Amino acid sequence: MPNILVTGADGQLGSEIKSLVDSKNFYFANRKIVDIQNQKALKDFLHDNKIEVIVNCAAYTAVDKAEVEQSLANEINHVAVKNLSVISKERNIKLIHISTDYVYEGTNYKPYKEDDITNPQGVYGKTKLDGERAMLKIAPANSIIIRTSWLYSSYGSNFVKTMLKLGQEKDELGVIYDQIGSPTYAKDLAKTILEIVPKIKNSTPKIYHYSNEGVLSWYDFAKEIMRLAKLSCKINPIETYEYPTPAKRPYYSVLNKSKIKKDFGIRVPYWKDSLFDCIDKIMSDGL
């Protein structure tokens, strides 16, 4: 088993990976343990711990705040990825970097493939795309980018946990029905990452898509959350303009997952099955 560094260890995906492994070969780091924006600190950590694989889950994900905190979003989503890529190439470290559906314009009519044209509509998406481009330009071997969408987990803050909390407090809620995509249970993505790490063998970085199977709106998602949690809160469909946000959201961000399934032989769970598992865990642990 190689020594593996997981950055962004306190986030949803990092926490899910930590919950799945029981190995001294894994190093889970937040910014206090190693600042990936600091090249020297990063190099020292990688050297001292003989790291052979990096799974970069660290990201600035506050989509609306990114419109104001542009420099910070760029440092984490772009500059830090550039640092990781340079060092990975220098030391022949395998790098798995997590990106987002926000790199697309969100106006497609069929699921986005990895080579479709990117056109992010906000600072968050632009900085994530800049991170991807830096990694592709530096081109560390045995490395991949995984774009995902609508991430949720029993850990951290996310749409599922917000809906469960509001569903217990309110009689009804308005949820957007004209934004379409696919949710991703972070535990499923974590399992996939752990499964494919030993299989990654490529001379230059490749891009892959991963989300759960199925297509739905945020409204559909909220309705299913209430049903599974047996909450009586009524969900009303609203349009995007009725819930204005500083950052523009993609109207359509369904990802085509054929490439990752073909190259690594993985099975992708259906979104309702994964949501059931996640809610069951949240209820067991206590919201």
**Half-sphere exposure in the Cβ direction for 35 (13 Å, CA):** 7
Stretch 277-284: mean pLDDT, rounded? 94
Question: Is there a domain that residue 68 lies in?
Answer: yes
How many C-beta neighbours within 10 Å does residue 84 have?
29
**Smallest Cα–Cα separation from 81: which of 30, 115, 128?**
128
Residues comprising the chain, all counted? 287
Average pLDDT score over the chain = 95
Strand-pairing partners, residue 144, are 96, 206
Alpha-carbon span 236 to 62, nearest angstrom = 25
Helices (H), 69-149: 70-74, 80-91, 123-138
Q: Which two tokens stand for residue 102?
A: 């926000």
pLDDT band at 154 (very low <50, low <70, confident <90, very high): very high
Write the CA distances from 67 to 80, 163, 248, integer angstroms: 19, 25, 10
> Which residues have CB under 8 Å from 208's CB, separation 6+?
114, 144, 145, 146, 147, 259, 260, 263
Give me the mean pLDDT over the 214-223 stretch: 98
Answer whether residue 229 is part of any domain.
Answer: no
243 falls within a domain? no
Rounded average pLDDT over 210-220: 98
Does a structural domain hold residue 219? no
**Per-residue pLDDT tens digits for 47-69:** 999 999 999 999 999 999 999 99
Query: How are the residues of the chain apportioned to helix, strand and coil, as percentages rounded to the nearest 5?
Result: 45, 20, 40
Q: Count how many domains the chain has.
A: 1
Provide mean pLDDT across the span 97-109. Answer: 96
User: Which structural domain range is residue 34 located in?
Assistant: 4-152+186-212+254-269
Q: Is 177 a domain residue?
A: no
Please return the burial class of 163, using the count of CB atoms within 10 Å of its CB with bins 0-12, 13-18 and 19+: buried
The CATH number of residue 87's host domain is 3.40.50.720
- What would the mean pLDDT of 7-25 be, rounded to a whole number? 94
User: Which of these ranges, 25-34, 176-185, 193-202, has the smallest mean pLDDT?
Assistant: 25-34
The C-alpha angle 119, 125, 126, rounded to 5 degrees, equals 70
Whole-number pLDDT of residue 31: 85
Q: Which amino acid, one-letter code, is at 164?
A: L
Query: Quick one: what percent of the chain has pLDDT higher than 70?
Result: 100
* 71-86 pLDDT per residue, tens: 999 999 999 999 999 9
Residue 155 bears catalytic tag: no
pLDDT at residue 287, as a whole number: 67
Q: Which phi and psi (to 5°) does residue 40 adopt? A: -65, -45
**Which amino acid belongs to residue 119?**
N
* pTM of the model as a whole: 0.96
- pLDDT above 90: residue 38: no
Half-sphere exposure of 61 (CA within 13 A, CB side): 19
Residue 94 has which token pair?
A: 């395998």
Angle at 135 between CA 132 and CA 141, to 5 degrees: 130
CA 82 – CA 192 distance, rounded (Å): 24
Instruction: With respect to residue 159, please indicate whether it lies within any of the assigned structural domains.
Output: no
Q: How confident is the model at residue 286 (pLDDT cuts 50, 70, 90)?
A: confident
Strands, E assignment, the chain: 4-7, 26-29, 53-56, 94-100, 144-148, 151-152, 172-176, 180-181, 184-185, 206-210, 216-217, 234-238
Within a domain: 13: yes
Q: Which is higher by pLDDT, 252 or 286?
A: 252
Q: Which residue is catalytic, options 27, 60, 104, 124?
A: 124
Cα 20 to Cα 37: distance, rounded to the nearest angstrom? 27
Examine residue 114 and state whether it is found in any structural domain, yes or no: yes
